[in-house]
Amino acid sequence: QVQLVESGGGLVQPGGSLTLSCAVSGSLFSGDLMSWYRQAPGKQRDLVAAITTGGITTSADSVKGRFTISRDNAKNTVYLQMNSLKPEDTAVYYCNFWRIGTEYWGKGTLVTVSS
């Protein structure tokens, strides 16, 4: 059973930074796609950024230049570095593990951007 545990969320002022972490257990950390999604109140869950085992990344236009996804395969952990945060970044952020035939989600971590 694959488990994903997110951490690092919290309250931050506009313009501030946070780093989210997602620790993966129960699976070999390779041949997969790791992603961060977010869901704001009353809105659908959207992709924020994704990274392959080999380090190829993609990100949503709304976070390009501000958010960076990375992974440490030795630690089975994926990160989301968030800079220049805006109030519209407020959401629950979810970690996602995908491999052909399987998909798992974390429980989410809340990020609130407010003064």
Query: Stretch 23-42: mean pLDDT, rounded?
Result: 89
Whether 109 contacts 7, CB under 8 Å: yes
Question: Taking 90 as the threshold, does the pLDDT of residue 31 lie above it?
Answer: no
Cα separation, 23 vs 1, whole angstroms? 14
Query: Stretch 37-55: mean pLDDT, rounded?
Result: 96
Starting from the edge strand earliest in sequence, which strands make up the sheet with 3-7, in order? 3-7, 18-25, 77-82, 67-72
Confidence at 105, pLDDT banded by 50, 70, 90: very high
Tokens coding 95: 């970690």
Tokens coding 72: 């440490």
Query: Stretch 11-25: mean pLDDT, rounded?
Result: 97
Cα separation, 112 vs 115, whole angstroms? 10
Summary mean pLDDT of the chain: 95
Nearest to 47 by CA among 107, 95, 109: 95
Confidence at 113, pLDDT banded by 50, 70, 90: very high
Q: Specify the pLDDT at position 30.
A: 78
